[in-house]
Amino acid sequence: MATVPMYDPYLPEVREDPYPIFRALREADPVHLSAFLDVVVLTRYADVSFVLLDRRFSSDRSLWEWLPPMEGYERSMISLDPPDHTRLRRLVSRSFTAQLVELTRPWAWTHVDEVLGRAEEHGALELMEDVAYPVTQTVFNRALGLPQQDAPRFRAWTTRLARILDPLGFQDGDTGPSFRATEDEVLAYLAAVVAARRREPRSDLISALIAAEQDGDALSEREVLLMVEILLIGGYETTARLIGNAILALLKHPDQLALLRERPELVSSAVEELMRWDPPAQLTIRVAVEDCELGGRPVRRGQLVAGFLAAANRDPEQFPDPERLDLTRSPNHHLSFGHGVHLCVGAPLARMEAQMAIGELVRRFPRLRLAGEPVRTPTVTLRGLTSLPLAVS
């Protein structure tokens, strides 16, 4: 009998390249009980999609039976279920419009041109620090109406929160106090910004969230603060990691890099395929709210279920030849932005930034190549790079 593999994110080789273990689990044990945090790991597209749609699996992590104490934990939109989630989603969606994306497009073009112009002069760039984070920070700060000079502070906060809230972060003994201290700093800063916007509204996303109203309902002060905090993490961390993962994938697949260079009109399709291939958001968490079964395996009430979006994105039952990077792939119904009611509200903005940054890097630098070893971030939920040194001339 073949040995069933065990998912262990502590292993350096798994953090560096989790896809072989995803494939092995999908074939041998697709509903896998990992000893790590007693979590049920799902790797098939059908199972992940099912859990994201089924009301027996909650987004509220406070229901997890083994959650370390986190004093002051508050549920935000990403950890709410309908009908509470439906109410917030309806109000927030009124602020995320096609007009917002178009409003930010000129800022993005200007900043991409500036950072790539500097790289052209130097003949080299560090993608994450010189392009990915600066572009996403600039665009998102302008969209939210936050001062650019405070970007280093926002970056420190979002990096810290992403680390604390990662499954590996739960192994640290000070998870609760670290989370609380960091969030207190973030929310205190944002409270002052929100108060200023109430006095003098601007044409920015924070003002739009404050003004959002439907049928006499509006976001409370606390809901606005928590929503902006979520947007900062998503806007800074997820999109920057998407750009880094995508460029590294193209460099490892020179035929696809050449194809995109020859056919720049493929950039929209390319971003979708690059997101399928190596998404920044690797997994999404649900908690069983009642005893049930998944794929014949019993799941307890209060047990954590990890739907691995990255594994589902390479399921051969959904994607022909899933281990092949194909920038022309169509259809491409990947799960990288989630599925169901929690589909990422900022997806249009992330797509625009990624298409612009990736398309311009490929267009402007025909000799784009690695100039050193990429360094990965020590996180599981958000997969990305700390460093990606590139030569451009």
Q: Can you list the domains of the chain with their CATH numbers?
A: 62-277+339-391 (1.10.630.10)
pLDDT value at position 140? 87
Out of 50-64, 91-105, 260-274, give the one with best mean pLDDT: 260-274
- What is the share, in percent, of the chain residues with pLDDT greater than 70? 93
pLDDT value at position 162? 78
The residue assigned the tokens 């760039």 is 125
256 or 163, higher pLDDT: 256
Report the pLDDT averaged over residues 102-121.
88
End-to-end CA distance of the chain: 53
The residue assigned the tokens 């960091």 is 182
Residue 1 has pLDDT above 50, yes or no: no
pLDDT value at position 378? 85
How many other C-beta atoms are found inside a 10 Å radius of the C-beta of residue 20?
Answer: 11
pLDDT value at position 169? 58
* Predicted TM-score of the model (pTM): 0.93
Report the pLDDT averaged over residues 256-272.
98
> DSSP of 60-125, one letter per residue?
-GGG-TTPPP-TT----GGG--TTHHHHHHHHHHTTS-HHHHHHHHHHHHHHHHHHHHHHHHHTEE
219 or 314, higher pLDDT: 314
* pLDDT tens string 225-252: 988 888 888 888 999 999 999 999 999 9
Sign of CA pseudo-dihedral 63, 68, 71, 73? negative
Residue 35 has pLDDT above 80, yes or no: no
Report the pLDDT averaged over residues 36-54.
92
pLDDT value at position 100? 78
